[in-house]
A and B are shown apart, each in its own frame.
Chain A
Amino acid sequence: AQRVTQPEKLLSVFKGAPVELKCNYSYSGSPELFWYVQYSRQRLQLLLRHISRESIKGFTADLNKGETSFHLKKPFAQEEDSAMYYCALLPLEYGNKLVFGAGTILRVKS
């Protein structure tokens, strides 16, 4: 079965510190992976998609097929990064439904 694991419910860092939000997936096919962000009282917004290889708001994520991971990183956290972050898998060989992790709350302290 396809599964996404985000082991941390809450990650608290100081402004300017590096951030790494962990995501591991379970899927036998070729994965399509996403990071969505939800700021307070707002909708789920796409942050990154692995195939685009972009850096958005200073965040990057690298797909590691050997470790089945797609961790989200930022070298210097900012207070406005405080939000809920969801990792999601699109297992295309089984349809087009997104499979979400439980989410990690990132809290950036000043």
Chain B
Amino acid sequence: EPEVTQTPSHQVTQMGQEVILRCVPISNHLYFYWYRQILGQKVEFLVSFYNNEISEKSEIFDDQFSVERPDGSNFTLKIRSTKLEDSAMYFCASSVDGGDTQYFGPGTRLTVL
């Protein structure tokens, strides 16, 4: 059964550094998402992406964040200048269409020191 994959599984970075989190959505899916979960808190929506553009973003997704689909398979989340409070588990998800079930990747644990 096809699955969403994410790399790396764990990323450690220094405050102020740029990080890129990578995701490969399920191949026939058209909608892509990023969520994050700070330790002990809820899973929170960051951004959704469809047809090569952002379709929706949350208040968390400020100018420090960007998403890109650089080729036909990868979907990336970039944080330009990481802050301590960006430390979280970041989940990528994809769905066939906007109202369909979202399938999640295993997550990338980002630790900002």
Report A's interface with B, CB cutoff 8 A.
32, 34, 36, 42-46, 49, 86, 88, 90, 92, 95-103
- Given the contacts A97-B58, A100-B42, A43 and B105 also touching, CB distance less than 8 Å: yes
Question: Is the CB–CB distance between A97 and B45 below 8 Å?
Answer: yes
Whether a CB of chain A sits under 8 angstroms from the CB of B101 is yes
Let me know if A46 and B101 touch, CB within 8 A: yes
Q: Are B45 and A42 in contact (CB under 8 A)?
A: no
Tell me which residues across on chain B come within 8 A of A45, comparing CB atoms.
104
B35 CB within 8 Å of chain A: yes
Q: Which chain B positions have C-beta within 8 A of A100?
A: 42-44
Are B56's CB and A95's CB within 8 A?
yes
Contact partner of B104 among A44, A49, A95, A101, CB < 8 A? A44
Complex CA–CA separation, A92 to B102 (angstroms): 13
Is B65 engaged at the interface, CB distance under 8 Å to the other chain? no
CA distance A60 to B13 in the complex (A): 42
Provided the pairs A44-B91, A46-B101, A46-B103 are in contact, do residues A96 and B48 lie with their beta carbons within 8 angstroms?
Answer: yes
Q: How far is the CA of A100 from the CA of B35 in the complex (A)?
A: 10
- Ordered by A's residue number, 7 sampled pairs between the chains whose C-beta atoms are within 8 Å are A43-B3, A43-B104, A44-B104, A46-B103, A98-B33, A101-B42, A103-B43
What 15 additional pairs, Cβ within 8 angstroms, besides A36-B104, A96-B56? A43-B4, A43-B104, A43-B105, A43-B106, A43-B107, A44-B91, A44-B104, A96-B31, A97-B33, A97-B45, A98-B33, A98-B35, A99-B45, A100-B44, A103-B42
Chain B positions 57-113 with a Cβ under 8 Å from a chain A Cβ: 58, 91, 93, 95, 98-99, 101-107
Q: Is B55 an interface residue (CB 8 A)?
A: yes
Q: What residue in chain B is nearest A36 (Cβ atoms)? A: B104
